[in-house]
Amino acid sequence: MSITDYIGQSMPRVDGPLKVSGKAPYAAEYRPKGLLYGYVVQSSIANGKITAINTEEAENLDGVVKVFTHLNLPDYINDNSDYSDPLAPPGKPFRPLFNDNILYNGQPIALVIAETFELARYAAGLVDIDYSEEKFTATIQENLANATHEDVEEPPEPRGDADSAFAKAKHQIEVEYQQPRHYHNPMEPHATTAIWNSDGSLTIYDKIQGVANSKGYVCGVFGFDEDKVQVISPFVGGAFGSGLRPQYQLFLATLAATELKAAVQVSLTRRQMFSFGHRPANIHRLKLAADEHGKLMSIQHTSLGETSTFEKYSEPVVDWSGLLYECENVKLDYQLIPVQAYTPLDMRAPGGTSGVYALECAIDEIAEKAGIDPLEFRLLNYAERDQNEDKPFTSKELRECYKQCADKFNWKERNPKPRSVKKGNNLVGYGMATGVWEAMQKESSAKAEFDADGKLTVSTATADIGTGTYTVMSQIAAKYFGIDMDEVTFKLGDTKLPESPIEGGSWTVSSVGSAVKNACEALQEQIFALAKAHDDRFKDLKIDDITFKNGEINLKNGDSLRYVDVLKLAQKRSISVTNKEKPKDEREDYSAYAHCCIMVEVHVDEDLGVIRIPRVVNASAAGRIINPKTAESQLLGATVWGIGMALEEEGMVDKNFGRIMNANLAEYHIPVNADIKDIDVIFVDEKDEIVNPLGAKGVGELAMVGVAAAVSNAVYNATGKRVRELPIKLDHLL
């Protein structure tokens, strides 16, 4: 294969053989000599204090090494360290064991260390705890009166006069939508293996989406010098935002390893995975108005979001309502409601998934009120400019997404009258929605090294949470260094490698990929400089006079010189370069987003209310697609997750105890194979020379943003019933 073919080609995953053979090591699979195991004890109340904690029975068991509680926390732990990372959720990550205060049900309050995991788990059941309980609020519905703007990230400024325009408009709707908590549940539970080394340093294997976050946390809280901590995370079995912040098992494993001068592993159970972070529950209140022609006159969106009592967690929930459609009168409001729960956490397209769900359902409702087809209504109100920031888009092919999606789906066959189409005993409905996500780029570094054996090694500290980072970066490196992809090795997930942002926000390709491109091109320049110094054919040439291809420098007269021969002439074993890439200044003058159109067909059993989704079509415009195979997988996964959001996922809170009742994968329902039928993914061509050097936009979070709304709208078209809360259940339709 010519090296020019790698970008845009559906290449298989380079890490695939390791994963399918079980040779890819994850955080809980490291087994150093003398490894000890930790098991977390959790609180059984939602608010109050620990009045007594008895660990004697547990510690008397043979093989139990120690039980850590707030009573024996060492003095050197820094509760006031200024840990922060601009790419992680703001605030201080929760640190367990600092005092006797209970802030939420499931809070880690003790750690049992033993010689085996099973023994640690058994001993944890012997730890006896007494509490004094206090009143608490478990859900936002119970605490609406205490909604606050304090310390809340402000949405875009109002424009026009939304109230007046609403009052004067011909068509009006005023609606409320509700969405419950959602939990990440990646396949790999969170775990940390912390190894104390004889020189007083720590080697830590952590489940994290950015190793620099974990290192910064450990150094800040435990007072380690930076050269004494190495964090490694080469493989991550899914994360979806749950690994953006260091989670509490990192603190506990590091604590035990430091105190015991040993190797300690703390892994969380599936139930414990429900005890930190989640997509917050939201209540959305929307008022939309349109004129007699269907032109939007007023958009008002208020969102009440869930946060913890000890931290303010904000998301850009309402911003999208001022962005997606052209409207001169917009008023957005975002408030937080504290409850006794762990602080929410970024979760796949945070804010967008929640806010656009409500907006796109409301758009369907106002379109129907105006008597206009939902697709036609969206085209009528198409935004050619970002009115939130008053900037042009770097590129936007959403119109073409609408067209190609409608053609593939056969949208023109949709019957606008609800409950009018049947197949057997099933009511049939068509629904659609728009998806959107930011096309971001963050500053990133990468190192490229070429050796005399013809091998290129590219490295950066980023992560691969299952998105295909290893593969895509290898493709970029092969393309821009001009070498066969089989000769490329890509390394990631180690704090000793060049610094990069966390893998999140769908910005990894644009950020890390741009740095890899930069480093590989800089390495080519080094090779050319060596060729000029050691081969007279190149002495008077400029870099524009030659090309790099198939591991050779090629002259216009047909002569060539292999990269490896350049190193031999220069008597070098290897050459390397480390470069940094940051967003270009011109990006500040533009607004950058990826867009998609999602269309869904639903079948609803008229007697039983059972909802099935036989087909989904997604047409996405996301700039330059580096690897259609891995990109398609991201869109398919997002679509499946969106179906789960619409029909199944719900974190059920017990108001009497403040705990999650369905903290397991048997009762926290997610889609299974039988729920998923045909999903078609279309990539719409989109050229973007501004967004980043690669012209690529992220796709990982894009598709999920619109799926739940498309399903909800299709259910209405099938049944004539507007369900304004998620998930849509049988009893909503019967």
Is residue 36 within a helix (H) or strand (E), and if so which, with residue range? strand 36-42
> Do residues 342 and 278 touch, judged by C-beta distance below 8 A?
yes
Residue by residue, what is the 3-state secondary structure of 170-228? CEEEEEEEEECEECCCCCCCCEEEEEECCCCCEEEEECCCCHHHHHHHHHHHHCCCHHH
What's the CA gap between 730 and 602, in Å, rounded?
Answer: 14
Give the relative orientation of helices 704-719 and 352-369 as an angle to the nearest 10 degrees: 30
DSSP state of 323: T
Helix segments in 386-441, DSSP class H: 398-409
Amino acid identity at 405:
C
Q: Please give the backbone phi and psi of residue 561, each rounded to the nearest 5 degrees, phi first.
A: -140, 125
CA 365 to chain centre: 30
Residue 7, helix vs strand vs coil: coil
CB neighbourhood size of 71 (10 A): 12
Task: Tell me the C-alpha to C-alpha distance, in Å, between residue 488 and each of 474, 480, 481, 492, 577.
Answer: 6, 12, 10, 13, 15
| Token pair of 610 as six digits | 């059972």
Q: Which of 557, 482, 475, 490 is nearest to 527 (CA)?
A: 482
What's the CA gap between 306 and 283, in Å, rounded?
Answer: 9
What's the CA gap between 651 and 644, in Å, rounded?
Answer: 12
Residue 654, helix vs strand vs coil: strand
Task: Find the radius of gyration of the CA atoms of the chain.
Answer: 27
Strands (E), 244-359: 263-267, 282-290, 296-308, 330-339
Catalytic residue list contains 397: no
Choice among 118, 311, 701, 725 that is catalytic: 701
What's the CA gap between 266 and 191, in Å, rounded?
Answer: 6
Task: Tell me the C-alpha to C-alpha distance, in Å, between residue 723 and each of 639, 711, 713.
Answer: 20, 11, 9
Q: Please give the backbone phi and psi of residue 718, each rounded to the nearest 5 degrees, phi first.
A: -80, -40
Strands 108-114 and 64-68: antiparallel
| Calculated CA dihedral for residues 11, 14, 18, 21, nearest 10 degrees | 20
| Calculated CA dihedral for residues 463, 464, 467, 470, nearest 10 degrees | 110
Amino acid identity at 644:
G
Give the residue numbers annotated as catalytic, written as ranges: 701
